[in-house]
Every structure is written in C-alpha cells, then in structure tokens.
C-alpha cells in the first residue's frame, strides 16, 4: 500500500535477521517517489553491521517511473503490446524488448537489480479484477512471446527479471489481494494456456518466478490450498516438470488470499519457496520461522537451500555492470511515438477534422491516480478544452488497482455512461461525442463495439 511515511527494517532487525533481498516501494498516494536514499541507508546499515548489502527488487511492470519520480513511466503491458502491433511481428518484439531494456537501465541507475516483472498471466477473463491491462494479452502464445521479449530487454539493460504470477492469474474473477481466487481449469487446459508463457520465460533464462496466491486444484490436488503453500505446485510442477532451477519468490505474504492459512511463512518455505515477500510484520515472520526451526518442523537443509539460492542471485546481480548512455536514446524513441502507436480507433477511425475544438468532459468513473488525472488534463489542453465546443470527448477510466475488488465500470458508472450515450443518440442536435476508453478493450461493453 502506498504510504506517505518511510517504512524500513529497524537496525535491530537487520542485526538479527540480515535479509538477502529487500523490496523497494516508492509509490506514494501522490504518485512515484524517491526511495533511492532510503535504500542506500538500509544497505549501508547492513554493511556496517557486518553483513552483505541486500539485493534490491522492485515492481516495475510499467517502467522504473512507477516507483522512481525521475525515471520513465511506461504504459501497462497490454498498451505496450498494442503499440507493438502497429508494426510487423519482428519489430513488435523489438519494441517490447526496448521497453524492458529502458526499465532495466533506469532500475540499475536507481539501485535496483531485480525487476519484479514481466507478468506472464494470460488474461482470458474480461472481468478479471486485478490482471487486466497488466497482461501482455489474452492468447497464450502471443502473451508468452511478448513477456519473453520484455525479459530479454531487462537482461540487455543489466537487470534480472521475475515472471509472475505462476501458475497464472489470468482466469480469475477475484483479486488475490482480497481473497483466494480459484482457477478451475483441467490440467490439459493449464498446459495449453496458463503454463505456456512460463515455459517460454524459463527457456529464456528468467532468474526468478513469483508464485501467485491461487487455488489451482489441477496442480495442488487440494482444493482451497494456495499454490504458494503447495509442494506439488512449486517443487512438482514448476521445478520438476517445467525445469526451473532459479529463485522462487512468493507474492506479497500480507495479501488477503492467505488469510486462513497459518503458519503461512513456515508453510511457504516447506512448499519450496525461497524468498517471502512483504510479510505483515517482518519481526513476527522471522520469529515464526526461527521457532519452527528450533521445533524441528523446518529443516536446516531446506533453509540452507533457500539461502544458497538467494545469496547466489544476490552475488551474481551485484557483479553486473551498470550501463549508461542508451537510456536517453530509448527515452526519446518511446516519447516520440508511443502515444500514436498505442492508440486504437474502432469502426471507421477518428471521425472529426484535425485541429477542431473538442471539449473533454468530466470522466466516467473516478480518477484514482495522479498519472491518469494528468493525462486527462493534457487532453483538455491539447484538444481545446472548451466546455461549449461543438464536439465532446468523454473519457472512461478503468484502472487495475490492488484491493479494489473489480476492474472496469461498476453498475452505477455503467448507468452514467449509458445515459450519456442515450442523450447523444436520442437528440438530433446533440453534441457529437467520442469515447476515450482508458482501459482494456476486454472491459468495453459489447454494444459500444457494435452500435453506430
């Protein structure tokens, strides 16, 4: 959760439980922040205490600008895919790889070695409340190609990647931040859809895989058991069948999907996870693990295995050089052409003459992030913005937000949109109106595609 105050491990905690890695979170309620100084202090304190500086990882699905205010904020994965599709297939993948490379270059410049991306989910449900535009598509092969291109770009920029959310969060109607989602596919269907991108990412050398808090009985053989806590899912499927030998990370351990499953930290390590991300309380989590070890429930062999994997990754990434120079070239290329490449026009294309004044109406659905608010204001300034213009653009805002429990428009917002459309179609002299849909095409009501 974005916080306006600093949250960091205490000196006492670092002295007793030195971490192999830390998760950096720079977003505040107002947008991206500047967490680099805090990261440097935590690392310096670890060294001062006689420990190795921890690996730093950060969720940079939308570029380093998602958490660092001086870096580039990229659009979500589905918009990158849309921009790439404006070109032949080979250039499509090159474009997405360039986005990954820019993300890595700016991540390394800000002290981040491990990028918690790309998303390998195949968003096959249009009502998916949390994945939506975060996925590279709704078709398994294409989503896998694009996610792998992003990972290749990360490697070119000197950072490691983490494929998520294994075995696939795309066919779910619940947000795992809130409750435990279930994936009801048979095993053969999982092979044809969910597992396809992860197999490809593993073949391309992805360093980490993040396990989603997902109930997938076809893998776990235990309905109601999150894959995070399932040895069948982690050791049996991911490591045994898919051949992954890197670091297995959990999704955030403070999410609602794990609410009934205690002791969650012990069970995740027992299942084969190596790194436990974002506990409710780091001290309490460490004490639970220590107690389970002293009681003999957690074996030293399992702890040493996890520690070796984490330490090996930290040492390997710390030795990678930080590149400079190419980031500015990539920034210019993205800024120059991204908006026009990502834009998709339905039916007969843009209906109005270039340069005509267009009023930008108040959006349907509330704006929840400053980036979207700024985008709407840019539209107003660039299109004229007059409230009495002869033509109107109506923004419809859909944001994938953790814990919100839905994606797209709720019933009240959809009713407001329908009322505006009825006004346009029912009155001969009504102002012509175009909808700008800020979200996945999967969430657009069907009649907006089919009606004139």
3-state secondary structure of 448: helix
Q: Which of 171, 215, 251, 274 is catalytic?
A: 251
121 assigned to active site? no
**End-to-end C-alpha distance for the chain, whole angstroms:** 42
| pLDDT tens track for 219-229 | 999 999 999 99
Beta bridge partners of 182: 215
pLDDT the model gives residue 404: 80
pLDDT the model gives residue 220: 97
Query: Average pLDDT of the chain?
Result: 89
pLDDT of 385 above 80:
no
Distance separating alpha carbons of residues 162 and 324, to the nearest angstrom = 23
| pLDDT tens track for 300-349 | 999 999 999 999 999 999 888 887 677 877 877 776 556 556 556 555 66
pLDDT the model gives residue 263: 95
Q: Which of 138, 177, 213, 274 is catalytic?
A: 177
- Cα–Cα–Cα angle for 299, 303, 307, rounded to 5 degrees: 165
- Cα–Cα–Cα angle for 14, 53, 74, rounded to 5 degrees: 105
Put simply, whether the predicted model's pTM sits higher than 0.85 gets the answer yes
CA of residue 80 relative to chain centroid, distance: 13
pLDDT of 86 above 60:
no
| pLDDT tens track for 335-360 | 655 655 655 655 566 778 877 888 88
Place of tokens 């340069």: 355
* Of the candidates 108, 127, 133, 215, the residue with the CA atom closest to the CA atom of residue 168: 215
Residue percentage of the chain with pLDDT more than 70: 91
**Mutual orientation of helices 195-203 and 140-156 as an angle, nearest 10°?**
30
As a whole number of angstroms, the longest Cα–Cα distance in the chain is 78
Which of 16-30, 156-170, 352-366 is the least confident region?
352-366
3-state secondary structure of 424: helix
245 assigned to active site? no
* Of the candidates 439, 407, 443, 435, the residue with the CA atom closest to the CA atom of residue 347: 435
Across 20-37, average pLDDT: 90
């Amino acid at each position: 959760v974005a916080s306006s105050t600093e949250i960091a491990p205490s000196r006492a905690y670092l002295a007793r439980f030195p971490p192999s890695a830390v998760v950096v979170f720079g977003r505040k309620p107002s947008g991206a922040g500047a967490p680099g100084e805090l990261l440097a202090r935590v690392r310096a304190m670890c060294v001062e205490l006689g420990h190795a500086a921890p690996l730093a990882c950060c969720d940079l699905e939308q570029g380093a600008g998602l958490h660092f205010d001086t870096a580039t904020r990229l659009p979500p994965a589905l918009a990158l895919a849309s921009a790439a599709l404006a070109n032949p297939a080979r250039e499509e993948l090159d474009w997405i790889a360039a986005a990954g490379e820019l993300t890595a270059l700016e991540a390394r410049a800000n002290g981040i070695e491990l990028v918690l991306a790309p998303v390998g989910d195949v968003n096959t449900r249009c009502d998916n409340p949390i994945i939506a535009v975060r996925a590279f598509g709704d078709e398994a092969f294409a989503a896998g190609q694009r996610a792998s291109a992003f990972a290749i770009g990360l490697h070119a920029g000197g950072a490691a990647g983490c494929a998520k959310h294994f075995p696939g969060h795309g066919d779910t109607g619940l947000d795992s931040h809130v409750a435990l989602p279930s994936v009801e596919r048979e095993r053969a269907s999982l092979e044809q859809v969910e597992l396809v991108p992860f197999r490809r990412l593993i073949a391309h050398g992805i360093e980490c895989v993040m396990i989603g808090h997902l109930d997938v009985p076809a893998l776990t053989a235990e309905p109601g058991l999150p894959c995070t806590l399932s040895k069948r899912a982690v050791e049996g499927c991911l490591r045994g069948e898919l051949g992954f030998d890197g670091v297995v990370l959990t999704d955030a351990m403070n999410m609602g999907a794990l609410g009934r499953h205690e002791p969650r930290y012990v069970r995740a390590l027992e299942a084969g996870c190596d790194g436990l991300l974002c506990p409710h309380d780091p001290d309490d989590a460490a004490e639970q693990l220590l107690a389970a070890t002293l009681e003999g429930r957690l074996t030293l062999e399992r702890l040493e295995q996890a520690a070796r994997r984490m330490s090996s990754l930290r040492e390997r990434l710390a030795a990678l050089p930080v590149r400079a120079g190419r980031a500015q070239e990539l920034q210019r290329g993205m800024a120059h052409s991204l908006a026009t490449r990502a834009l998709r026009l339905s039916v007969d294309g843009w209906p109005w003459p270039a340069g005509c004044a267009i009023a930008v109406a108040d959006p349907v659905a509330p704006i929840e992030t400053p980036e979207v608010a700024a985008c709407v204001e840019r539209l107003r300034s660039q299109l004229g913005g007059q409230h009495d213009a002869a033509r109107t653009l109506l923004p419809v805002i859909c944001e994938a937000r953790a814990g919100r429990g839905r994606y797209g428009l709720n019933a009240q917002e959809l009713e407001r949109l329908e009322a505006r459309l009825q006004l346009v179609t029912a009155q001969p002299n009504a102002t012509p109106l175009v909808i700008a849909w800020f979200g996945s095409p999967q969430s657009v009501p069907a009649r907006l595609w089919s009606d004139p």
